[in-house]
A and B are shown apart, each in its own frame.
Chain A
Amino acid sequence: MTKFKKYLQFMMLPASICLFLLLSIGTMAQDSTAVPSKKPVKNTFESNWVLDNQSVMVPIKGTLEMDMQHRFGTVRNGFKDFYGIYAPSNIRIGFSYVPMEKLQFGFGFTKERLQLDLNAKYAILKQTKGGIPVSITYFVNTVIETTPDKDNLIYVTGGDRMSYFHQLIIASKITDKISLQVSPSISHYNNVEGVLDADGIVQRNMKNDHVAIAFMGRYKVSDKMNVLINYDQPITQHPGLKKNTNPNPNLSVGVEFVTSAHAFQLIFGNYQGITPQSNNYFNHNAPFKYTTADGTEMKGGMFLIGFNITRLWNL
């Protein structure tokens, strides 16, 4: 058994425990003497974003949000590029609107591969005091890569530019200070890289679908400041005829400052992409040193600095 498979199996155990704890603690943490209320629990998370992932929150009806997101280069070069600040960076400008209670639509533009994303988010279930233990939200994102390709060298058909992301977001506000979230997801790319095998036949280097799971937590330091942590674990193993094909996990930590109309998150993590399917499918920055299934020694510590800023208007 390869080191990577051992590592994956090692990670699945805490992942299962986390999922079990979220569902059970969510029930237990609710005061048994409290009168059950139909009012939903508020502020499980205080922004649409938890660092690199969507939070369970769908803002109130009539909310218009503008997102400004930035990811610098990795810090590994030190002073050479001032810890990634002067390195090539990734940027997304996005907008979202909540036309009716529980439902949000959004779109955005990302610098990396000129991605245009269209997304929707629906709050299926909301946690209540002494009643429902968790909130559940569904998030879907479609991306069109708009990179110019006049001679169809990258994209043979228009459909090759498309990718999709589906995520089920399950979260619970355990106490006033602590919230936890687990988010299984599936990403789909219409177009995957082809490589020639030993017989000269074109094979897919990666599968079209990629399953992953993310874990997030928030600790409320004060009414204005939160500490956030996020971990993304890839689950699908791709054929990987080329070396170093499989995406890496992502570990990110950050602080969040919240005001009436803004949320500001400062991030230290591995993901340089911003759209979720791109992050889950193509992350080459490993948080820890490990050996892949094909024997490649992955360097750990590939962290970078980033930030998310959201501006809200209530129309």
Chain B
Amino acid sequence: MKSKLFTAVFILFASTLILVATSGFKPSQGKPWPVPDKNAKMANPVKSSATSIAEGKALWVKHCQSCHGKTGKGDGTKAASLKTEPGNFVTPAFQKQSDGTLFYKVSEGREDMPSFKKKIPDTEEIWSLVVYMRTLK
């Protein structure tokens, strides 16, 4: 009788633990990130060139690489400690987003993803970063 009770308590405890582990700390992968239409439709004023890619890459290495990884696969050194899934920028699903959408997400941020509009106040630089993100294919 005692062992049955112990087994029942153990199963209850283990189930609770699994439930907590899979719900409370679930990364917010796939959670919709609505972007206002006018932002999504904004065209990138910075043309893709060796200069803009180099400028975007320098910003990527300094500000993004630690979470999103060297090649944008979401495998940066900090990625494991994030609650928010950093995403895989190499996938077609990511790359089909408009430049305006990427600009908005970098500028505004959400959850673990910080807002960069104060840290990178020059909008042209954020557009250069978007240009670089297009090379992560």
Q: Interface of A with B (CB < 8 Å)? A: 39, 43, 60-62, 176, 222-224, 258-260, 314-315
Closest chain A residue to B59 by CB distance? A223
B41 within 8 A of A: no
A223-B118 in contact (CB<8A)? no
* CB pair B57 A223 closer than 8 Å: yes
The 3 A-B residue pairs with the shortest CB-CB distance, nearest first, are A223-B61, A314-B118, A260-B63
Question: Do B121 and A60 have beta carbons less than 8 Å apart?
Answer: yes
Interface string of B49-80 (1 = CB under 8 A from A): 00000100110011100100000000000000
Is the pair A260, B58 in contact by a Cβ cutoff of 8 Å?
no
Q: Which residue of B lies closest to A258 (CB)?
A: B62
Pull 5 A–B residue pairs with CB atoms less than 8 Å apart, ordered by A: A43-B58, A222-B61, A223-B61, A259-B66, A314-B118
- For B62, what are the chain A residues with a Cβ–Cβ distance below 8 Å? 223-224, 258-260
Interface residues of B (CB under 8 A from A): 54, 57-58, 61-63, 66, 118-119, 121-122
Query: Chain B: interface secondary structure?
Result: helix
Which residues on B sit within 8 Å (CB–CB) of A61? 121
Given A223-B57, A223-B61, A224-B61, answer yes or no on A260-B118 (Cβ-Cβ < 8 Å): no
- Inter-chain CA distance A62–B63, complex, in Å, is 18
CA gap between A60 and B57 in the complex, in Å: 20
Closest chain B residue, CB of each to CB of A43: B58
For B66, list chain A residues within 8 Å (CB).
259-260
Report the bound CA distance from A61 to B117 in whole Å. 12
Q: Which residue of B lies closest to A60 (CB)?
A: B121
Q: How far is the CA of A61 from the CA of B118 in the complex (A)?
A: 9
Q: Which residue of B lies closest to A314 (CB)?
A: B118
Q: Which residue of A lies closest to B60 (CB)?
A: A223
Cβ contact within 8 Å between B119 and A314: yes
Measured between C-beta atoms, what is the minimum distance from A224 to chain B in Å? 6
Nearest CB of A to B24, in Å: 27
Residues of A within 8 A of B122 (CB): 39
The distance in angstroms between the C-alpha atoms of A222 and B58, with both chains bound, is 9
Which chain B residue lies CB-closest to A176?
B54
| Bound CA span A246–B69, Å | 52
Cβ–Cβ < 8 Å partners of A314 in chain B = 118-119
Tell whether A62 pairs with B118 under 8 Å between CB atoms, given A259-B62, A260-B66: yes
Q: Which residues of B contact A60 (CB under 8 A)?
A: 118-119, 121
A222 and B118 alpha carbons, distance in the complex (Å): 24
Which chain A residue shows the least CB distance to B121?
Answer: A60
Query: A260 and B57: CB pair below 8 A?
Result: no
B58 in contact with A223 (CB, 8 Å): yes
List A contacts of B58 (CB < 8 A). 43, 223
User: Once bound together, how far apart are the Cα atoms of A258 and B62, in whole Å?
Assistant: 7
B60 to chain A: closest CB distance in Å? 8
Bound-state CA distance A259–B119 (Å) is 12
A226 to chain B, nearest CB (A): 12
Given A43-B58, A223-B57, 6 more A-B residue pairs with CB atoms under 8 Å apart are A60-B121, A223-B58, A223-B62, A259-B62, A259-B66, A260-B66
How far is B66's CA from A6's CA once the two chains are assembled, in angstroms? 52
Distance of A62 Cα from B57 Cα, bound (Å) = 25
By a CB distance below 8 angstroms, the chain A residues around B61 are: 222-224
A240 to B122, CA, bound (A): 53
In Å, the complex CA distance between A158 and B122 comes to 46
List A contacts of B121 (CB < 8 A). 60-61
Report the bound CA distance from A268 to B107 in whole Å. Answer: 39
Measured in the bound complex, the distance between the Cα atoms of B118 and A224 in whole Å is 21
The residues of B that contact A222 with a CB separation of less than 8 Å are: 61
Inside 8 A of A39's CB, which chain B residues have their CB? 122
Give Cα A251–Cα B72 distance, bound, in whole angstroms. 41
Min CB gap A70→B, angstroms:
24
Residues of A within 8 A of B118 (CB): 60, 62, 314-315
